[in-house]
Amino acid sequence: MLLSSLFFSLMSAMVRGLSEVNSYTTVAMRFIVGGLVAGALFSSGIQKLRWINWPWIVLRGVSGGIACILFYWGIQHVGLSKGVLLGYTYVIFASIFSVFILREQIKLPHWIAIATALVGAGLICGVTNLSMGSGEMVALLGGVIAGFAVVCVTKCRENDSSTNIFFSQCIFGLVIVFWPVTSHWAMPTTGQWHTLVLIGVLAAGGQLSMTYAYKYTGATQGSLLGLLTPILGTLIGVAYFREALGIGFLLGASLVLASCCYLSLNPVGRPTPNPGVGAMAACVELTAQTGK
Averaged pLDDT, 244-264: 79
Q: Is the model's pLDDT at 128 over the cut of 70?
A: no
- Pairwise pLDDT comparison (45 vs 237), residue with the higher score: 45
Signed CA dihedral, 251, 256, 259, 264: sign only: negative
Q: What is the mean pLDDT of the chain?
A: 82
Q: Can you give the pLDDT at residue 176? A: 93
Q: Can you give the pLDDT at residue 290? A: 40
Q: Can you give the pLDDT at residue 277? A: 44
Domain ranges in the chain? 2-290
Beta bridge partners of 288: none
Q: Can you give the pLDDT at residue 92? A: 81
Q: For the ranges 79-93, 120-134, 249-263, which has the lowest average pLDDT?
A: 120-134
Q: Can you give the pLDDT at residue 40? A: 93
Backbone φ and ψ for 46, nearest 5 degrees, come out as -65, -40
pTM of the model: 0.76
- Pairwise pLDDT comparison (115 vs 245), residue with the higher score: 115
d(CA 87, CA 73): 10
- Pairwise pLDDT comparison (126 vs 159), residue with the higher score: 159
* pLDDT bucket at 271, cuts 50 / 70 / 90: low
Averaged pLDDT, 130-137: 72
User: Long-range pairs for 283-290 at CB < 8 Å and ≥24 separation?
Assistant: 284/52, 284/159, 285/159, 285/161, 287/48, 287/50, 288/47, 288/48, 288/50, 288/52, 288/159, 288/160, 288/161, 288/164, 289/46, 289/47, 289/48, 289/161, 290/48
Q: Is the model's pLDDT at 25 over the cut of 90?
A: yes
Q: Is the model's pLDDT at 254 over the cut of 50?
A: yes
